[in-house]
Structures are given as structure tokens and as C-alpha cells.
Amino acid sequence: MIEIKGLTKKYGQFTALDELNLTLDEGTVFGFVGANGAGKSTTFLIVSTLLQPTSGDVFIDGVSVREKPADIRKLIGYMPDFFGVYDQLKADEYLDFYGASYGIPEEERKKLIPQLLELVNLSHKRYSYVDLLSRGMKQRLCLARCLIHDPKVLILDEPASGLDPRARIEMRDILKTLKGMGKTILISSHILPELAEMCDEIGVIDNGKLIAHGSVAEIQKKLQGEKTITVR
């Protein structure tokens, strides 16, 4: 499903990503963990076609991110760590705008929007203005927006960042539901326990290098006693 080959990104003399290689099967929930600046967001930006790599490539369903970015955007839903919303729109209007942007017919949007709001537990906020929603609700609304075109892959950069404990639990439960729907999900965080309950596999990135990759249990065992890896 996702194959990352020799992915490298340099800014002058600084190497943000250094020969990253990774293969993920369809339906996998993969957690990218590492300190701020380790290379998580850079990887996600490249996979999402928003940043060109210096070298290497990413393939989703065999489609090259570098060669066919327009095709990749049909396959993915991307939620950045700093999400944007249109404050003067109501929640359903916000989703309708993005649905129309993807070319989804109006009648289909009318059926789809209530389903998405129910999925992210926002049915009761359908007619609320976005600027009146809590941070956790805005986060979940952005997740619904990522799902509007039914992508195969979700790329979620720090989806639980800044959320209170209750909102984190709500987000975790929604991701479990999406996993049950067969979505392939990439999640980043700098907090390992935050990912442990949600992910099938974990990758630890440090200074642009993937230094560990395996099941949650394998990674937790590997990190025990490590003094050179900082994961907070």
C-alpha cells in the first residue's frame, strides 16, 4: 500500500530526512514517534505532495508521489498539526464546501455530511458555527473533512496535540473505528504512550533517520534503557 524508498530532504547543508525506507501494508495503523524536529512532519508533507523531496520517492498503491501528485491527492486525506477552519461557516457548510471542491454531487453531499458528522461525534453541532467549537471539536471536524472523498490513506500530523484527556479519548476511539473500516493510517506524535493504544506498528525517527521500526511491544522493549533516544 505505502512504500517509501530512500526518502531524503535537505535544506542547504541541513538534512531533515536521511534515506528513509519504510513499507506498510494496507489497513495498517502506523505511528511515527520522535522529538520535535526529528523529521515527522517533513515526511508527512512529502507523502501528502505538499513538499518535494531532494531524492527518493513515495508510492501509494503503486502511484508515485513525485510523478503523479494529483492522483495521490485522490487517495489520501491529510490533517496537518495546525489545521485551518473557516470560522464564519457552520459545521455542515464547512464539509459541504470541501465536498463540492472534490466534485461530489450536491445530493450525495447531503447524504454524506450527516454520516461523517456522526462518525466524528459532531451530529449535535451540525448547525453550529465553527468558531464556537472547542479545539477538540474542530480537530474532529477537520478529520471529517479529510474523509469527505473516502480516501484509502489518512495522514494525521499530531492529531491529539493540545487536546484535553477526554478529547484525546474521543479521537482515539474514532481512529479505532476508522481502522475497522480498513483505512491505512499514518499518525505522528512525540509521545509514545499516546500512539501505543492506537497503532499496529511504530517507527521511531531521530535526526531524520528511522532508528527503530516494529510492533508496539518491540519498540517499547527496544527503548527500555536507551539513553540516546529522547521520546517525551
pLDDT at 154: 97
Is 89 within 8 Å of 125 (Cβ atoms)? no
* Residue 73 maps to a domain: yes
Report residue 169 CA to chain centroid gap: 17
- Residue range(s) defining the domain that contains residue 14: 2-84+153-223
* Residue 23 maps to a domain: yes
pLDDT at 170: 86
pLDDT at 29: 92
pLDDT at 128: 95
* Residue 57 maps to a domain: yes
Is 182 within 8 Å of 154 (Cβ atoms)? no
Task: With a cut of 70, list the residues of the chain below it in pLDDT.
Answer: 83-85, 223, 225-232
* Residue 230 maps to a domain: no
Q: What is the CA radius of gyration of the chain?
A: 18
* Residue 39 maps to a domain: yes
Single pTM value for the model: 0.89
Residues with Cβ within 8 Å of residue 156, at least 6 apart in sequence: 79, 143, 146, 175, 185, 186, 187, 188
Q: How many residues does the chain have?
A: 232
Number of domains observed in the structure of the chain:
1
* Residue 187 maps to a domain: yes
- Opening angle at CA 152, ends 109 and 67, nearest 5: 110
Sign of CA dihedral 164, 166, 167, 169: positive
Q: What is the CATH number of the domain that holds 194?
A: 3.40.50.300
Relative orientation angle of helices 91-101 and 135-146, to the nearest 10 degrees:
30
pLDDT at 219: 81
* Residue 164 maps to a domain: yes
pLDDT at 232: 46
* Residue 102 maps to a domain: no
